[in-house]
């Protein structure tokens, strides 16, 4: 799959602020790509259904647009085969142009044979881009409102997103369900202590209670007899003290 690359800063195709779902944005992009002749092989007889290949191509195209709007200068320099400035936000990633004309991070996993290409060279994105925020929200919902560090490790398997942790914290803070789960429980006001526990000078267990229960039947030799039992809170407390 090849992309037509324009080194000039492109005009905005989408008003990303109008969308509330990343999946919807991907589907709309897939429908728009059907107009192009080079995407004819991905079309299906049913126009209302997008194939997985269409969605994959649409997502890659969206990532290219995100980078074009977030890093226009760096993208142009990399396409021209030049070095980006050291003060650039993506300079620590040692970026390069990879498949689908996407800016990727060099990483340190080149020798990991069994790893996926996205894991070795994650796609660089900016968390401040509206479409990236929609993608992070999608990951938050699909992973059942997991914690920030879990989502961060999950997303970094494919993407190197600038200021990822603060963006995930903001999503979790604004999530109504997460706020309900992390809400503090109401602590009721404790009642006043009874007078028996506030009396001064009395020896231990001056005031205690005894609970009777029974009868229950026990076998004594060849006969059955009734038995009653009682529980003393003082004895129980004394037993726990001696045992500890």
- Token pair in block for residue 21: 């779902």
Note the pLDDT of residue 11.
59
- Output the pLDDT for position 54: 87
Q: What is the pLDDT of residues 148-162, one digit of tens each?
A: 999 999 999 999 999
pLDDT digits (tens, 9 = 90+) for 38-63: 766 666 666 778 888 889 999 999 99
- pLDDT for 238 beyond 90: no
To which residue do tokens 């890093």 refer?
71
What DSSP element (H or E) covers 159? strand 159-162
Q: Is 135 exposed, middle or buried (0-12, 13-18, 19+ CB in 10 A)?
A: buried
Virtual torsion, Cα 161, 167, 169, 172, nearest 10 deg:
-110
Residues in the chain: 244
Neighbours of 208 (CB within 10 A): 13
Beta strands in 22-120 (DSSP E): 96-97, 103-104
Can you say whether residue 185 is alpha, beta or left, with left for phi > 0 and alpha for psi between -120 and 50 degrees? beta
Q: What is the pLDDT of residue 237?
A: 43
Task: Name the burial class of residue 103, with classes exposed (0-12), middle (13-18) and buried (19+) by CB atoms within 10 angstroms of its CB.
Answer: buried
Tell me what the pLDDT averaged over the chain comes to.
Answer: 84
């Amino acid at each position: 799959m090849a992309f037509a690359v324009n080194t000039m800063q492109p005009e905005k195709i989408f008003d990303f602020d109008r969308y509330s779902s990343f999946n919807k944005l991907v589907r709309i992009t897939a429908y728009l790509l059907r107009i192009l002749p080079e995407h004819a092989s991905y079309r299906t007889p049913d126009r209302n259904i997008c194939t997985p290949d269409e969605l994959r191509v649409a997502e890659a195209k969206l990532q290219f647009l995100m980078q074009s709007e977030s890093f226009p200068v760096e993208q142009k320099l990399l396409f021209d085969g030049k070095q980006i400035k050291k003060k650039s936000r993506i300079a620590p990633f040692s970026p390069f142009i990879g498949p689908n004309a996407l800016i990727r991070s060099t990483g340190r996993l080149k020798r990991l044979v069994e790893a996926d290409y996205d894991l070795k060279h994650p796609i660089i994105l900016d968390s401040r881009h509206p479409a990236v925020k929609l993608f992070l929200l999608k990951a938050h919902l699909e992973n059942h409102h997991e914690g920030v560090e879990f989502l961060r490790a999950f997303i970094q398997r494919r993407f190197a997103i600038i200021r990822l942790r603060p963006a995930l914290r903001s999503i979790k803070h604004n999530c109504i369900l997460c706020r309900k789960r992390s809400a503090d429980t109401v602590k009721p006001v404790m009642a006043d202590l009874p007078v028996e526990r506030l009396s001064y000078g009395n020896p231990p267990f001056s005031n205690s209670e005894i609970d009777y229960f029974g009868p229950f039947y026990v076998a004594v030799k060849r006969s059955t007899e009734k038995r009653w039992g009682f529980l003393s809170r003082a004895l129980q407390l004394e037993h726990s003290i001696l045992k500890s």
